Amino acid sequence: MQFTKLRIPKGTQDYYFDYLEKRSYIENKMRKNFELWGYKEIRTPTFEYFESLATGTGLELQESMFRFKDKGGRQLALRAEMTSPIARVVATELRSHPLPMRMYYLAPMFRYEEPQSGRQREFWHAGIELFGSSLPDADAEVLAVFITTLDDIGLKGVSVELGHVGLFKSIVEEAGLSLDEAAAIRRSIDKKDDASLETALKEVDVSSAMKDVFRLLPKLRGDISVTKKILDNVDNENVEICIKNISDTVKLLELYKLDSRVMVDLGIVRGIDYYTGAVFEGFVKDLGTALGGGGRYDNLVGEFTGESIPATGFAIGVDRCHLALEKQGFKFPLKNSPQILILYIDQELKGEAVKIAVNLRKLGLSTEIDILERKLTKGLEHANKRGIPYVVIVGKTEFEQGEVVVRNMEKEMQEKVKIEKLKNYFQK
Ligand code: HAM
């Protein structure tokens, strides 16, 4: 392993400058929308005991966790998602906090996965969790926050696919299988992979009618009427409850005028175990993978302390949103900083140059001052290279008249400006 000191691990990235400015734009919009809906920020540790982070998640997520031991031999891991840690906080420190409780987060997550476009080993989640209501009103609210957040950052054509994990679980039960025995079927349905679904179905001993129901699930996508097809094929009370829940959620979304953005997909099973109810994923055409996903998880808090609290939420992949915005040609409003570079020709004028810089910053103008004692031509060359739009030149002759030279780099024009008029000059 040579030269590792010059490289960074696979699936990680250095972020800087314009990229980060665009990133902050996205994050600020997300944060603003979460807060508009009454959500408050929560942060949990980046690493925790593996046992705690693993709670309720299932093998697929656990196998993707970066695990390590501390010096005392305790099993730790980097968090791969925030829902379990937040459920831990709700089950412990926030146990007597009034319900419902709305929280949001913006934080890096870590998963040991094969990196590809939109899939890294370190990536950011922006998510919300809503505790304390088992009504579809909570599911509809979470979906509405999801859609409006993706709209607010500037994405076009966001749509959501809504399903219900209870459906798959009820059908598995009806087929007489355990969830472990049906794990391969679940993965194939999740990926809508017909070939692997056939292989998985060959491995299980269930009636051919039930196999047909499994085959049907990934094909049931469309408006709410697709729910009828499953009811025509399975006679099971739990399935009926799940379908009613989906219909109620879509009806509530009509109140937000967002129902047209939601498509029913009864094949959504999600890769994490804790889900118990309505689940969803969001997409735009320009990106082949999900922008984010979430759903209801009524038993997770109970897995920590035995006392359940109904909950629902989502996490948006911030990196994927950034990628999708770039693909859609979104024009990010960049701040273009710094706006001004101050050069002083004479060492004696350093103090005056600093004073001018301080005053310009007070006006909210991002201002740099030369710290290399550059000559004028070198200073101007530097401003050009960096794309700094204005240079303020503090020279002795002008300064004695109470003036400086302001050079507009783009127009290649300069003029003398009274120091006390700099404010007016730049505010123009
Ligand atoms: P998730 O579907 O595993 O859900 O992740 C949510 C989103 O994170 C994905 O849709 C995707 O945009 C992004 N994401 C996942 N893995 C990667 C990766 N390796 N690289 C880049 N982006 C990635 C959860 O994590 C649940 N905790 C969501 C939730 C909150 N459910 C209820 N509350």
Structural tokens at position 23: 């990133």
Residue 239 near residue 169, CB atoms below 8 Å: no
CATH code for the domain in which residue 272 is found: 3.30.930.10
Region 95-112 average pLDDT = 98
Q: Is the Cβ atom of 319 under 6 angstroms away from ligand 1?
A: yes
Region 109-120 average pLDDT = 96
Q: Is the Cβ atom of 57 under 6 angstroms away from ligand 1?
A: no
Q: Is the Cβ atom of 127 under 6 angstroms away from ligand 1?
A: yes
Percent of the chain at pLDDT exceeding 70: 100
Are 397 and 312 found together in one domain? Answer: no
Selection from 264, 255, 261 nearest residue 223 by Cα: 264
The model's pLDDT over 314-327, given as tens digits with 9 standing for 90+, comes to 999 999 999 999 99
Specify the pTM.
Answer: 0.94
Q: Is the Cβ atom of 338 under 6 angstroms away from ligand 1?
A: no
Are 194 and 63 found together in one domain? Answer: yes
Q: Is the Cβ atom of 56 under 6 angstroms away from ligand 1?
A: no
CA of 318 from ligand 1 middle (Å) equals 10
pLDDT at 2 over 80: no
Are 321 and 402 found together in one domain? Answer: no
Closest ligand 1 atom to residue 80 Cα is 25
The model's pLDDT over 46-65, given as tens digits with 9 standing for 90+, comes to 999 999 999 999 999 999 99
Are 305 and 405 found together in one domain? Answer: no
Does 7 map to a domain? no
Cα 139 to the center of its chain, rounded Å: 19
Which residues does 426 contact at the CB level (< 8 Å), separation at least 6? 339, 340, 360, 363, 365, 390
CA of 109 from ligand 1 middle (Å) equals 9
Domain boundary among 296, 327, 358: 327
Are 265 and 355 found together in one domain? Answer: no
CA of 317 from ligand 1 middle (Å) equals 6
CA of 185 from ligand 1 middle (Å) equals 21
Does 393 map to a domain? yes
Are 374 and 233 found together in one domain? Answer: no
CA of 315 from ligand 1 middle (Å) equals 6
Are 244 and 347 found together in one domain? Answer: no
Does 238 map to a domain? yes
Are 40 and 140 found together in one domain? Answer: yes
Asked if omega into 136 is within 30° of 0 (cis), the reply is: no
Domain boundary among 270, 296, 327: 327
Positive or negative CA dihedral for 371, 377, 380, 381? Answer: negative
Does 395 map to a domain? yes
Are 321 and 415 found together in one domain? Answer: no
Helices 226-233 and 237-255: crossing angle in degrees, nearest 10, is: 170
Single-letter amino acid code for the residue at 180: D
Are 194 and 275 found together in one domain? Answer: yes
Structural tokens at position 324: 């999708």
Task: Determine whether 379 is exposed, middle or buried from the number of CB atoms within 10 Å of its CB (0-12, 13-18, 19+).
Answer: buried
Whole-number pLDDT of residue 22 = 97
Ligand 1 pocket test, candidate residues 83, 89, 309, most atoms within 8 A of CB: 83
The protein residue with its alpha carbon nearest to ligand 1, atom 10, reads 292
CA of 123 from ligand 1 middle (Å) equals 9
Q: Is the Cβ atom of 109 under 6 angstroms away from ligand 1?
A: no
Does 232 map to a domain? yes
- HSE-up of 112 (CA within 13 Å, CB side)? 10
User: Rounded distance, CA 394 to CA 69, Å?
Assistant: 59
How many independent structural domains does the chain possess?
2
pLDDT at 31 over 80: yes
Q: Scanning the structure block, which residue is given the tokens 């953005």? A: 261
More confident residue, 345 or 277: 277
CA of 74 from ligand 1 middle (Å) equals 27
Are 170 and 281 found together in one domain? Answer: yes
CA of 397 from ligand 1 middle (Å) equals 62
The protein residue with its alpha carbon nearest to ligand 1, atom 12, reads 317
CATH code for the domain in which residue 391 is found: 3.40.50.800
Residue 204 near residue 216, CB atoms below 8 Å: no
pLDDT at 336 over 90: no
Which residues does 96 contact at the CB level (< 8 Å), separation at least 6? none
Q: How confident is the model at residue 1 (pLDDT cuts 50, 70, 90)?
A: low
The model's pLDDT over 295-315, given as tens digits with 9 standing for 90+, comes to 999 999 999 999 999 999 999
pLDDT at 428 over 80: no
Q: Average the pLDDT over each of 94-98, 232-236, 241-245, 404-408 and give the range with the smallest value.
A: 232-236
Does 1 map to a domain? no
Q: Is the Cβ atom of 365 under 6 angstroms away from ligand 1?
A: no
The protein residue with its alpha carbon nearest to ligand 1, atom 13, reads 317
CA of 125 from ligand 1 middle (Å) equals 7
Domain boundary among 283, 300, 327: 327
Closest ligand 1 atom to residue 111 Cα is 19
Does 333 map to a domain? no
Does 302 map to a domain? yes
Are 357 and 322 found together in one domain? Answer: no
Domain hosting 403: range is 340-427
